[in-house]
Chain A
Amino acid sequence: MPRLISAFSGTVGFGVKVGLLSILNALAAWAAYVLIDRQHYIALAVLVLATIGIDAIYFAKRTLPLKFLVPGVLFLLAFQVVPIIYTINVAFTNYSTGHVLGKNDAITQIQLQSLEAPPDARTYNMAPARDKDGNLVLLLQDQMSQKTFVGNEDGLKPISGVKANAFGIVAASGYSVIKGAKLFAMDKQLRALHVPVGKSREIQPQTISTAAELEPTLRYNARADTFTRISDGRVFRDNNAGSFTHGAQELEPGWKAAIGFKNFNKILTDKQFRGPFFQIFLWTVVFAGSVVLLSFFTGLFLAIVLNKKGLRFQRTYRSLILIPWAVPGFLSVLVWQGLLNDDFGVVNRMLHLNIPWLFDANWAKVSCILVSFWLTVPYFFLVSMGALQSIPEELNEAAHVDGGSPWQIFRRVTLPLVLVATSPLLIASFAFNFNNFNNIYLLTQGGPTQPDQPIAGSTDILISYTYKLALATGKGNDYGLACAVSIVIFVIVATISAIAFSKTKALESIN
């Protein structure tokens, strides 16, 4: 590799280093510019410190290990460590559909949404326009009286010289009416433009050519931090959980607020969640456990049967058995979904059965295990094959000579030796299947749905349940609860892994 060496030697190597760092710094400068523009100063500080740190590391002499570690660690921090921290953070909030904004934004939204047209409200034809100084104003024509006005944030003024036809206002002296694409681009600005009239009413654009007089139905009291409903005087207070409430009534939207252990409490005590959660947890354990055990013993059995020296077609059997492992798993699962289809699936027709493989709660569970079993057997077949071949021939012979029956030899000699080699893999496979999202979600989507359960299906495992809680569309997304479930899953998987590591002695190789 002399060429590679020369690429990193002396001046050339230095040039490469300076080049890469220049690109990095240029990117950082651009990012900093954007962040300043958007006024994200904390992110800016992090960015500047990180860039200076990286530059320092690569130009200093005594930071050799860091030079090798920094690239990987940066990605690890950004997309593994930060998400972990963020997950923990969100788990203690009510972040969900309807609780996305900050509190101040939520108050503004509530005020906006509380605007309603009173019975005697006037409606106007409207044309957005710019005055002589270029300020945005609304040209308005009362649809009843045909009187014309100009309105801005300061209020409403009658004017004359407005030309209107059947389609609305077309021109006004002293103003240039905004038209066409420019008008559509102003959608946001227009919606924010309110023209106050009278004591509490204001005129708001309804479409790009009409406006209406609206009146708030709620009044915000900034000092007391409450909303009062004007019609009946009811007071809505901050409930410390991200909403203004009065009894069971809640104002929409709420905001993102810290709510302590409420999400975890929900999982453990709330009837609506506790039931499905424990049921799902149990099924997750049953699923992962039975897939691993069935696959392991089947794989071991196949390996023992086919591991005979000189067996004809041995290699052929081996290759064919390995096929399910070689095909990308998600394709196989999707194919199985078609084959198991109860109306016209191949399995039912070939076997002359009429089993609702995917639409009955219990049969769907069987299908999940069956398909995962099909996918996992080859792995354990291969692993057992390796383990069997590493057992010295003499051991079996000695046991045979000592009068052991084949079953005794298997039970007392072969199995213990195979288990020594494979038990770490069994635990790892259990942990893997514990979170085997693909095999469940691509086969049944966690379904069939259960009566009186909006989200949890009969075959949902914890991870697919979390996914649905967080991202399933149509039912509202509860990010906070989903993060809390993620943390619970982590604790469970970490416990399993801790057992695995104490068995594999992986830690010994640290030194």
Chain B
Amino acid sequence: MSAISAAVDRVRARERRAPTRKASWGRDWWRHAVGIIAAGFALFPVWFVTSAAFSREDSVSGTTFLPAHLTTKNFKQILTNTVPDQGTQSYVDSHFLRWILNTVGIAVVTALGTIILGALAAYAFSRFRFRGRRFGMMFLLLIQMFPQLLLIVSIYLIVLNVGDIFPVMSLNTYTALIVVYLGGSLGVNAWLLKGFFDTIPSELDESARVDGATPAQVFWGVVLPLAAPVLVVVGLISFISTLNEFVVASAIMQSQDHLTLAVGMNGFIDQKYGQRWGPFAAGVLLAAIPAAALFMSLQKWLVGGLTQGAVKG
């Protein structure tokens, strides 16, 4: 014991003698080398996409480290749906702004629904003691292991058959896609939210109840405002996963103007890297910059939330 504390004292003393200044370049050159290589690897595709977006070349083979002639024609083409379709004298059937609008609309509605449905269920699990509570929570945990990705065949068949009876819910409708997403949301989020609700002292609820508030008032007026930070995280996770979702959207959406960005962009570039790379790169920049900015600005909150459950790939 004394040996360790003596050692610690010695280290402390040494630190006092040589106060830590900004580390010098000389000793840390290899750290910088690693950092630069890692940053270069991370930036490699970003750099070339940016270069291609401002280049006159339409083929990926013309992409260079710096574009030879700066131009904004790629942005104009992708934004006004006037990407020339080689060999047919007409334009490619694309709806870039519509895809973004579809995606944002679907993702926002899904995120709001996810927050409300998840918070309601999590509140019940956190505050009430009822028969089947334990079973319910275990059930959610189990359900989470059967992601909708695996259920795509039956989801497709169900939407196909239900849509035959109720056209509002048929294939190629926003409603169908949103309600399917909402069905998959509870399993992921109820646990995360319940964990947060557990940290809000239930004395708060009780005192509000004593003051005459109804359970609904306690939930909407007392608990939800206190849980705002975690609600933002849940909404953001939901937003990002909807943005990245491909399988369900590609199975349900069919006409070009109903597609989400992921399905639309995949169809747009499909094996056409020799012809549509320029406008495609411009579209990637337009879509990625706001998404990345949103993500980076909320990143601190996300890390906490993500390490508690979900993984973003």
Contact = CB atoms under 8 A, between A and B. Distances in A.
A256 to B, nearest CB: 11
Contact of B153 (A79, A341, A470): A470
A5 B42 contact: no
Measured as residues with beta carbon below 8 angstroms from the partner, the interface class of chain B is 35 or more
A139 B78 CA distance: 56
Contacts, number: 333
Contacts of B313: 329, 372, 375-376, 379, 429, 432-433, 436, 438-439
B147 A435 contact: yes
Nearest to A10: B214
Interface centre among B151, B155, B214, B287, by most chain A C-beta atoms within 10 angstroms, is B151
Given A311-B31, A331-B265, A346-B48, A8 B217 contact: yes
B43 to A, nearest CB: 6
A317 B39 contact: yes
B221 A5 contact: yes
Nearest to A496: B145
B296 interface: yes
Given A331-B287, A470-B152, A441 B246 contact: yes
B269 A73 contact: no
B23 A76 contact: no
Measured as residues with beta carbon below 8 angstroms from the partner, the interface class of chain A is 35 or more
B22 A83 contact: no
Contacts of A87: 150-151, 153-154
A310 B148 contact: no
A76 B146 CA distance: 12
Interface in A308-335: 308-313, 316-317, 319-332, 334-335
Interface stretch (A126-134, A275-283, A393-401): A393-401
Interface in B284-298: 284, 287-288, 291-292, 295-296
Contacts of A1: 220-222, 225
A442 B269 CA distance: 10
A4 interface: yes
Contacts of B217: 5, 8-9, 13
Interface in B202-232: 213-217, 219-222, 224-225
Interface stretch (B55-63, B68-76, B86-94): B55-63
Interface in B161-210: 165-166, 179-180, 182-187, 190-191, 195, 198
A329 B288 CA distance: 10
Nearest to B21: A310
Interface centre among B143, B145, B277, by most chain A C-beta atoms within 10 angstroms, is B145
B157 A76 contact: no
Contact of A442 (B28, B246, B251): B246
A322 B296 contact: yes
Contacts of A433: 313
A441 B134 CA distance: 38
A379 B295 CA distance: 13
B22 A482 contact: no
Contact of B121 (A73, A319, A345): A73
A92 interface: no
A343 interface: yes
Contacts of B213: 5, 9
A302 interface: yes
B223 to A, nearest CB: 10
Contacts of A402: 7
A309 B20 contact: yes
A329 B143 CA distance: 25
A222 interface: no
A397 B11 contact: yes
B49 interface: yes
A321 B8 CA distance: 35
Contacts of A344: 59-61, 273-274
Nearest to A462: B150
Interface centre among B23, B60, B133, B277, by most chain A C-beta atoms within 10 angstroms, is B60
Interface in B101-119: 116-118
A308 B31 CA distance: 9
B96 interface: no
A71 interface: yes
A56 B118 CA distance: 22
A5 B121 contact: no
Given A317-B38, A479-B157, A510-B137, A432 B311 contact: yes
B265 to A, nearest CB: 6
Contact of A327 (B121, B134, B143, B292): B292
A40 B269 CA distance: 43
Contacts of A346: 48, 60, 63
* 10 closest A-B pairs by CB: A79-B183, A344-B61, A5-B221, A68-B124, A320-B39, A72-B117, A317-B35, A401-B7, A86-B154, A326-B292
Interface of A: 1-2, 4-5, 7-9, 13, 31, 34-35, 38, 40, 43, 64-69, 71-73, 75-76, 78-84, 86-87, 90, 95, 301-302, 305-306, 308-313, 316-317, 319-332, 334-339, 341, 343-346, 349, 372, 374-379, 382-383, 386, 394, 397-398, 400-402, 425, 428-429, 432-433, 435-439, 441-442, 463, 466-467, 470-471, 479, 482-483, 486, 489-490, 493-494, 497, 501, 506-507, 509-510
Given A5-B221, A305-B35, A490-B146, 15 more contacts: A1-B221, A2-B221, A4-B224, A8-B221, A38-B165, A84-B154, A308-B28, A329-B313, A345-B60, A346-B48, A433-B313, A438-B244, A438-B313, A489-B150, A510-B137
9 contacts: A68-B219, A69-B120, A80-B187, A81-B143, A83-B151, A308-B23, A323-B46, A438-B313, A470-B152
